[in-house]
Structure formats: structure tokens, C-alpha cells
Amino acid sequence: MHGYWADAAGIDQVREELTRAARFNPQPLKQSLSALEVVLKGLYPEGTLSRLVAWDGNWVLEDRSDRGAAEWLTQLAELVRSVLDAVDRR
């Protein structure tokens, strides 16, 4: 997922890039979604999720806590799921 967020100007640009990727080959996005779901179900030492978002996602959050990071990752998973569902309906 890093490749979609790292240099994005905003959520709309990310959605467009995810849609293009899903139309070309949805399998990597499905795997990313599965991985996100696993991460969101896990228990980690304090700071793990916030570092994941900040360093691996290259995204600065207003709420830089793990709770804020979990909310952001949940929104990311919902975005990926919605893109995959839209592409599947076509």
C-alpha cells in the first residue's frame, strides 16, 4: 500500500490510483487488504501502528497515536474494499 500513499496529494488521488491498479490486476490489492485486516486485528507494542503509518505509509496524521493510526488504517482498508467492490461490479 505504501506505493499508493507515499507521494499522494490526497485521498482522491489515492482512490484513482487504486482504481487503475484494481482494473489492471486486483490480486495485489486483495492481498494488501487481507494484510491490513490482519494488522488491524493484532495487538502490538505501543507506537507500532503510528510508526507503520508515519514511516511505511509516509502519512502524517493529526492524531499520531496508535488509536489514530488504527482509525486511519481502518479507513484505508474501507477505501481498498470499496474500490475492489466497484471494480468487481463492472
* Residue 68 contacts residue 49 (beta carbons within 8 Å): no
Per-state percent for the chain, helix, strand, coil, to nearest 5: 75, 0, 25
Dihedral sign from CA coordinates of 71, 72, 76, 78: positive
Count of structural domains within the chain: 1
Q: Could you tell me the residue range of the domain that residue 79 belongs to?
A: 2-89
**Whole-model pTM?**
0.85
Instruction: Please give the chain's pLDDT, 90 residues, in tens.
Output: 556 565 666 778 888 889 999 999 999 999 999 999 999 999 999 999 999 988 887 788 899 999 999 999 999 999 999 999 999 887
* Pairwise CA distance, residues 45 & 24, whole Å: 37
* Residue 68 contacts residue 52 (beta carbons within 8 Å): no
